Structure formats: structure tokens, C-alpha cells
Structure 1
Amino acid sequence: MQDAGFDTTVGAQPARAGDHSEGPCMTDNPAPDSRDVAVLREELARLREEAHHLRAQVRTRPLISHAQGILEERYRLPDGEAAFALLRIASQHHNVKLRVLAEAVTRSPRPEGRGTTWFSGPSTQPPPSLESIGLAATDNADRATVLSGVLSQTLAVVGAGMGNVQIADPAAEGLRIVQHTGLNARFVEHFAVVSDGTTSCARAAEETALTTVHDVATDPAFSEPDRRAILLAGSRACHSIPLVDEDGSCVGVVSAHLARPTADLHPAQVKALDSVGHEVGRWLGWQERGVLREALEHLHVLGRRSLGGGS
């Protein structure tokens, strides 16, 4: 007869209230809940983004201070805060990053005399052609339409269903994803900003040349975290095409991802993608220069008002 509340198995210990253990096979560290994993990933992405912003602030603070000093002297402003206010107003009005506008102030030639305009030459150059992505009229083309067009055309030429577009971000010292299709959230978070040469897009930007990864699983250039993120997105190969401005600089990269290992592209595909990369690159450079010039002209108007005692 067994005593109530006790297990008579050899070596067993008396049962304890609240002890729901089912034997020695149970682990003390159960697998984390999928919701906890999702929360951790979101927090990691947030911290990564925050780190990029902090590094950008450290790099850009001296630049913005320099621009403030120029504006304070040029328009006889009372202090640096007044100069910063002018920069902020022009930046927000034209949707130009404050850092980009400050850099333009420090590099652009000083306005001549006290004229009403900063630049005396033609206000804009004709927009570059975008026939390679099927846009005949480029005067009214907007940035989102162009970026969507370059991604669609690249995927069509390559015959891929996944891809992304990245734009060069000097403040982050890397490439930032601005368009994507067919790629999972983990991929987009992991490659939100790419700042080194361990990916095909980074290599394409550095070499300003089409870069092909025939098999992500075996390519030695990838770091293991990057390789894992790409494979989990369902990509086994990719082609990355640089978007090249008229001065030869890379202003972005468009990449097509394939579900299986791939061979080199056909010469006709390479020619088509090269045309896409150069036309879109020139258009992006043209658009940025035009918007930036408008922002500088606006800044000059604000400065002249301050010089004249206006609000």
C-alpha cells in the first residue's frame, strides 16, 4: 500500500505542492515565445537605427555649425540660433535634409552683392531622359515614380520577382533602402542601411559596376549574418546595378534577387541594365541639384529679409 502524497518509485522524492514537473526530460529554459522574438527583433532594429542617427549627428554637427556661422555673418543675424532657424525653414519647405542644405551653403559661391537671387545662371537644366524605364515625359516625373520604375524594369530584364532600390545617404555613410518588393521584413530591417563591402550592393556602389552573386550560400564575400538574412528571404542569387550620376558618382543601387543560383547575364541584359543605371542615376542627380538650388534661393530670400529688418 502506498502512502498518500508520495511516489514509491525508487529514488523519487516526495511530491511538493505546485510541482508540475513531468520528469527529468523537461528543460529549465523553455523555447522563447514567438511574440518575444518579434519584440526583440523590433527593438534591435530600433537600436540599430538610433545608432545610425547618433553617428550621423556627431559627423554633421560641425558642418551645420560652419553653415550657421556663414549665414550669421552674411545676413548680420543676431546669433547662431537665428541662422539655424533659417536653415530649418528652408530645409522643411523643400524637403531637403538639413545636413545636405548646410553642406551646400558651405560649398556654394557667395551671392553676388545684395541681389534678389543667389544664382545668376539658368534656374534649371533640362531633365535627363528616362526612356530606359518607359517614362517619355520627365518634366513632371516624381522621385517615387522613378524609383518604382527602375525597380520594375530591372526585375523585368533579369526575370526576378524580388528586389530593392537603395539611395546613397552620406550622413549614414552607406546605402538606405527606399523601395522593395517580394522581400520579407527581416531582410528590410537587416539591410535598412548598408555601409560596408560585404554585400553585392555595396560592391556595386564602390566599383560603380554591375555585380553578380551567383550563389549566396557559397559566396565567400558575405558575412554570416548577411548571408543568413538573404537566404531566409528566399534569395539564392542577385544582380546589383549602380545608379550613376553624370560625374561618375554612385547615387544609389538597384538589386534583383532570384530564388535559385544563377549564371552571368546575357550581354543584351547587361547593356539594358547599364542604360537603366546611368539614365536613372543622372535623373536622380539632376533632381537633387534642382531642389537643392531652390532651397538655397529660398534661404537667400529669408536671409535678405532678416538683413532688412523683416520677420
Structure 2
Amino acid sequence: MTEPDPDSERTELARLRAEVRDLRARAVTHPLIAHAQGIVQERYALPDSDSAFALIRRASQQRNVRMHTLAEALVTLPRPDERAGLWFPRRTRTTEPPLTFPAARATGTGSRSAVLSAVLSQTLTVLQTSMGNVQIADRARGGLRLERHTGLSDEFVDFFAHVGAVGTSCGQAAVNVAQITVPDVATDPLFTDRAREMVLAEGSVSCHSVPLTTAGGLCVGMVSGHLDHLIAPLTAAETKALDVVGAEAGRWLAWHQRTVVVDALEHLHALGRSNGRH
């Protein structure tokens, strides 16, 4: 009888886990994309859903906006006036808000991906840890959607891909629109039992979450750091530094949504009118 090969088994297990993660990710994003396809197909009288998908993907690529972000805007914003050449004819454009924290200045770019990476980097620097993640408010489903992470396992990322208002410290921080420190994950009642197990399994003993807020006080995202030791009380300077990250990042994300994403929607509208019945 041939002895099982441990390396082969580990490789197969890793492959199966990756396949499961991919299937779960598709299950989350597919309904949103499919909804957006249906809207575009109907709105511009396109022959099929594949034509609608192609237009969404083209606008996404040409305006450097993630397809999920563009689809989310499509299904949540009011439809354009059928008679208008522009989707948002009366909107006013504003300049890109500045980001003054060191990690943001070091990126040298105003791309959304770079900004989210800078937000995470600066937060982890202040908290002196290497584990953390950035979440964005999910406009279509509510809750928070994980978009950036470092130092975290695939299992952790998969489990916390989307969280609601209860059961996690980041969800509670979004509800409170205030920073939350969890000194001891093992005993804090904010977590559900399963969420606590997943956090502890990651080696995270304590954590801290910072809401990303607009000028009007709306939470549009969250950045969290996880520590492998009990966190010490934050100093006034550390709290202020994280307040700056949260406020500046939140205002930048709000600007990106109403400017860059809307530009992409306008481009999609023009493509649809030229390819459809208009």
C-alpha cells in the first residue's frame, strides 16, 4: 500500500481552500454584478446581459474604478433622466482633499488603492502592529466589506469578508462612529463566539478600530489593527493621529465616490447611449 504524501496532501488542501474562497467571493459579488447588468441592459436596450457586462467592465477599466464599486453605485443611485445626455447634469466638482499623514504623502498617488494602503499602513504604524485591515461601508447590503488587509490569514479574510452592525468591534465602531479599543478579545462581549474564535486563532489578543468619516460625520469605512499582546491605553497623541487618519481618509473616500465614481457612471451612460437605443 502506498503511503500518502504529506506534501501532496497539503497542496491539495490549499487548492481546495482557495477554491472555496473563490466560490464564496463570487457568491457575494455575483448578485450585485448581475443586478447592475440587468439595469444597464434594460436602460439602454442592449441585446443581452453580456453586452451590459462588457459596457460596465469597459467603464470600470477606462476610469480606474473597481467593477464592484461601479456596480454598487449603479444599483444604489437614482436612474438618469431618459431625455438627458448627462446622468448628473447639475453636479459641482470639488478638488481632491489633501491627505497629510506620512504614509499617504509617501504614496505619491491619489488612487483609491494607494489611499487605502496608506490608511492601513499609517494605522498599523501608530498601533505598532503588523496585522490589520480596511473595510468599506457596503452601500448595497449595509455593514462593512473588507477591502485591504495585511498579516492576516485567508481564513480570517474569508470569515470577515462582510460584517454587520453586531458581533464584532469594527461593526460596533461603525455604529458608534467612534474609535473602539478591545483590550482583551477573549473576554470582550462585543464579539460573537465564532468571531472571537477566528480572531484568537489569528493570534490577535487585542484590537483597535478607527472609523473613516465624512465631514458630516457619516462612517464610510473602518480601519482596524490587531495585536498579538494586550494593548496599552492609547496616548492622546496616538488617538489624535488616528482621528486624523479617519477624518482625512473618510473625506477622501466621499470625494472619490461623488467625483471619480460619478465620472465613471457618466462615461458608462455615454457608452450606453451610443450602443443602445439613445
Structure 2 partner of 1:210? 179
Please say if residues 165 and 180 of structure 1, whose CA atoms lie closer than 8 Å, have aligned partners that are also in contact: yes
**Of residues 70, 75, 78 in structure 1, which corresponds to 2:43?**
70
Q: Which blocks of at least 5 consecutive residues in structure 2 are unaligned?
A: none
Structure 2 partner of 1:265? 234
**What are the within-5 Å matches in structure 2 for residues 97-246 of structure 1?**
97=67, 99-103=71-75, 107-110=78-81, 113=84, 115=85, 117-121=86-90, 124-133=93-102, 135=104, 140-170=109-139, 173-195=142-164, 197-246=166-215
Matched, 1:54 2:27: yes
Query: Following the alignment from structure 1 to structure 2, what is the Cα–Cα distance between the partners of residues 153 and 182?
Result: 15
Pair 80,59 (structure 1): closer, same or farther in 2 beyond 3 Å = closer
**Of residues 280, 284, 289 in structure 1, which corresponds to 2:253?**
284
Q: Does the residue aligned with 2:252 lie in a helix, a strand or coil?
A: helix
Query: Following the alignment from structure 2 to structure 1, what is the Cα–Cα distance between the partners of residues 26 and 140?
Result: 8
Structure 2 partner of 1:296? 265
**AA in 1 matched with 2:261:** L
| Cα-to-partner distance string for 1:99-148 (whole Å, 9 max, x where unaligned) | 225326x51542664x4x44444663111121134545999422232222
User: RMSD in angstroms over aligned alpha carbons?
Assistant: 3.7
Structure 1 residue 165 displacement after superposition: 1.8
TM-score w.r.t. length of structure 2: 0.77
Please say if residues 56 and 172 of structure 1, whose CA atoms lie closer than 8 Å, have aligned partners that are also in contact: no
Query: Following the alignment from structure 2 to structure 1, what is the Cα–Cα distance between the partners of residues 100 and 61?
Result: 32
Structure 1 residue 67 displacement after superposition: 4.4
Structure 1 residue 230 displacement after superposition: 2.1
Please say if residues 240 and 255 of structure 1, whose CA atoms lie closer than 8 Å, have aligned partners that are also in contact: yes
| Cα-to-partner distance string for 1:232-288 (whole Å, 9 max, x where unaligned) | 322211101111234433222111122222344233322221221011011122113
Q: Which blocks of at least 5 consecutive residues in structure 1 are unaligned?
A: 1-17, 19-32
Structure 1 residue 219 displacement after superposition: 1.5
**Could you say which structure has the higher helix fraction?**
2
Query: Following the alignment from structure 2 to structure 1, what is the Cα–Cα distance between the partners of residues 80 and 107?
Result: 29
**AA in 1 matched with 2:75:** E
Pair 42,278 (structure 1): closer, same or farther in 2 beyond 3 Å = farther
| Cα-to-partner distance string for 1:214-242 (whole Å, 9 max, x where unaligned) | 10121133233332332232221110111
Structure 1 residue 295 displacement after superposition: 1.7
Query: Following the alignment from structure 1 to structure 2, what is the Cα–Cα distance between the partners of residues 219 and 38?
Result: 36
Query: Following the alignment from structure 1 to structure 2, what is the Cα–Cα distance between the partners of residues 35 and 78?
Result: 47
Pair 78,254 (structure 1): closer, same or farther in 2 beyond 3 Å = closer
Larger radius of gyration: 1
**AA in 2 matched with 1:218:** T
**AA in 1 matched with 2:78:** R
TM-score w.r.t. length of structure 1: 0.70
Question: How many aligned residue pairs are there?
Answer: 273
Identity %: 42
* Greater Cα offset, 33-42 or 138-147: 33-42
Pair 127,259 (structure 1): closer, same or farther in 2 beyond 3 Å = same
**AA in 2 matched with 1:99:** A
Pair 101,188 (structure 1): closer, same or farther in 2 beyond 3 Å = closer
Structure 1 residue 65 displacement after superposition: 2.8
| Cα-to-partner distance string for 1:63-99 (whole Å, 9 max, x where unaligned) | 6434433333xxxx56776555544432343334252
Matched, 1:91 2:60: yes
Matched, 1:43 2:16: yes
Please say if residues 243 and 281 of structure 1, whose CA atoms lie closer than 8 Å, have aligned partners that are also in contact: yes
